[in-house]
C-alpha cells in the first residue's frame, strides 16, 4: 500500500526506476520514514505535479550527493557507531520503509544479529 501526500490517497503512488533529475549521483532520504537510497529508486506521485517520493509510503525526500552520503556514513561509523554503513546498505535492499530509524535498527538486528549504534 502506498500513500500519495498530494491527495491523501493510498495506492496512487507509482514506483519509478528512472532518474528524476539531471544528477544521477544524488542520494535521497525520507522526511517522514526511515528510507534512503539513490535517486534512481524513488517513487513518483501520479498527476501533473508529480514529485519524487519514498517508493513505499510516499513521503517527501531530501537529497544530497551520493558520494557525500556514504563518506558521511563511513565517518560516523569510524566515530564509534558500529555497523552504521552496513545498516544503511541493508536498509536500502529491503522492500519497505519503517516509521522510524529505531524500528529499522530492530529489524536489522533480527535479520543480521548485529546491533547498529545510531547515537
**Residue 25 pLDDT:** 84
What would the grid cell of residue 65 be? 550527493
Question: Is 84 a member of any domain?
Answer: yes
Q: Which pLDDT value is given to residue 112?
A: 97
Contact predicate 83/43, CB 8 Å: no
pLDDT of residue 28: 92
Give a yes or no: residue 71 inside a domain.
Answer: yes
Total structural domains within the chain: 1
Torsion angles phi and psi, residue 38, rounded to 5 = -70, 155
Residue 34 domain-assigned?
yes
Residue 89 lies in a domain: yes
Examine residue 61 and state whether it is found in any structural domain, yes or no.
Answer: yes
Per-residue pLDDT of the chain (119 residues; tens, 9 = 90+): 444 444 444 444 444 434 344 566 889 999 999 999 988 888 887 777 778 889 999 898 999 999 999 999 999 999 999 999 999 999 999 999 999 999 999 999 999 999 999 98
Domain around 72? 3-112
The answer as to whether 117 is a domain residue is no
Question: Per the domain annotation, does 82 fall within a domain?
Answer: yes
Q: Which pLDDT does position 23 carry in this prediction? A: 64
118 in any annotated domain: no
Amino acid at each position: 500500500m502506498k500513500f500519495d501526500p498530494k491527495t491523501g490517497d493510498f495506492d496512487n503512488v507509482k514506483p519509478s526506476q528512472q532518474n528524476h533529475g539531471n544528477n544521477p549521483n544524488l542520494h535521497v532520504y525520507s522526511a517522514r520514514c526511515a528510507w534512503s537510497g539513490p535517486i534512481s529508486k524513488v517513487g513518483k506521485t501520479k498527476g501533473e505535479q508529480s514529485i519524487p517520493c519514498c517508493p513505499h509510503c510516499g513521503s517527501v525526500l531530501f537529497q544530497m550527493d551520493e558520494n557525500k552520503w556514504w563518506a558521511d556514513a563511513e565517518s560516523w561509523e569510524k566515530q564509534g557507531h558500529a555497523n552504521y554503513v552496513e545498516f544503511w546498505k541493508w536498509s536500502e535492499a529491503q522492500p519497505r520503509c519503517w516509521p522510524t530509524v529505531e524500528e529499522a535498527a530492530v529489524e536489522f538486528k533480527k535479520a543480521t544479529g548485529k546491533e547498529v549504534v545510531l547515537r
